[in-house]
Amino acid sequence: MVFVPEEKIRERVCVLIDVLRATSVIVTALANGAVSVEPVPTLKQALAKKGKDVLVCGERRNVKPRGFDLGNSPFEYLSDLVQGKKIVLSTTNGTRAIRRIECEILYAASFLNLSSIAHELKRYDSVTIVCSGQNGKIALEDVLCAGAIVALGGGTEKTDSALIAESVWRCSDSVFETLSRSQHGRELIEKGFLRDVEYCSRIDLYSVVPTFDGRSFILQTSERSLQA
């Protein structure tokens, strides 16, 4: 378990979490028919990839940058906009965290696909969960989701950080209330993104497992979304 990815993470299997909002967007976009979601670290790199059937998306300071097609609100990734499209995504925390992960297998997790991810991870003896954090600091919403994955995964050999995350999850009465109290959640609500916080709090809205192919997140399963 990594609460804030400050150094290179070299493990065989990793799971990336950025609940508010990068991995929630990745899950939503793929579930709604996007071909792939390619994370890139800078706005310039993202804009350079703009083209036919390619949507440039993301945020800086929680809002859509100039010249981008979509922002970082999952409500923008509706089927009629993203189906059959390739998404290029650049965000403040989530897409940058990927640069610090070196692994054979990488998944994207959120509350939206919680059970599907937890089930997939049972295939492995060891998994490293990477929380993106917020501006280089620990993010409560990511730790909460990580704890939920740990709790659902079972097993007895857990690191101290995994046990801490699991304790946070077991002590939480409401995902939405916890996300609303988090620093990033408060910032989003203040900027008018209350619906995003509510949406990202929903559990098992989709049964998809986004898997990184070395360049982009794609769907490992042909299962469609449980709810559009």
- Output the tens digit of pLDDT for each of the chain's 228 residues: 999 998 999 999 999 999 999 999 999 999 999 999 999 999 999 999 998 999 999 999 889 999 999 999 999 999 999 999 999 999 989 888 998 999 999 999 999 999 999 999 999 999 999 999 998 999 999 999 999 999 999 777 899 999 999 999 999 999 999 999 999 999 999 999 999 999 999 999 999 999 999 999 999 653 443 333
Token pair listed for 54? 């390619």
What is the structure's pLDDT at 228? Answer: 36
Total length of the chain = 228
CATH no. for residue 45? 3.90.1560.10
What is the structure's pLDDT at 56? Answer: 98
What is the structure's pLDDT at 165? Answer: 98
In a domain, 218, yes or no: no
In a domain, 217, yes or no: no
What is the pTM assigned to this prediction? 0.94
Dihedrals phi, psi of 208, to nearest 5 degrees: -130, 155
What is the structure's pLDDT at 34? Answer: 98
Residue tagged 């670290």 (tokens) = 41
What is the structure's pLDDT at 222? Answer: 38
Amino acid at 22: A
- Domain that residue 204 falls in: 9-211
What is the structure's pLDDT at 96? Answer: 83
In a domain, 220, yes or no: no
CA distance 189 to 180: 8
| Cβ neighbour number for residue 36 with a 10 Å cutoff | 19
Residues 9 and 17 sit within 8 Å (Cβ to Cβ): no
Coil, strand or helix at 133: coil
In a domain, 227, yes or no: no
In a domain, 3, yes or no: no
What is the structure's pLDDT at 154? Answer: 78
What is the structure's pLDDT at 226? Answer: 38
Residues 132 and 40 sit within 8 Å (Cβ to Cβ): no
Token pair listed for 27? 């899950």
In a domain, 32, yes or no: yes
Q: Could you give the number of structural domains in the chain?
A: 1
Peptide bond into 21 cis (omega under 30): yes
In a domain, 47, yes or no: yes
C-alpha dihedral sign at 89, 90, 91, 97: positive
The neighbouring-strand residues paired with 102 are 10
What is the structure's pLDDT at 83? Answer: 97
In a domain, 226, yes or no: no
What is the structure's pLDDT at 166? Answer: 97
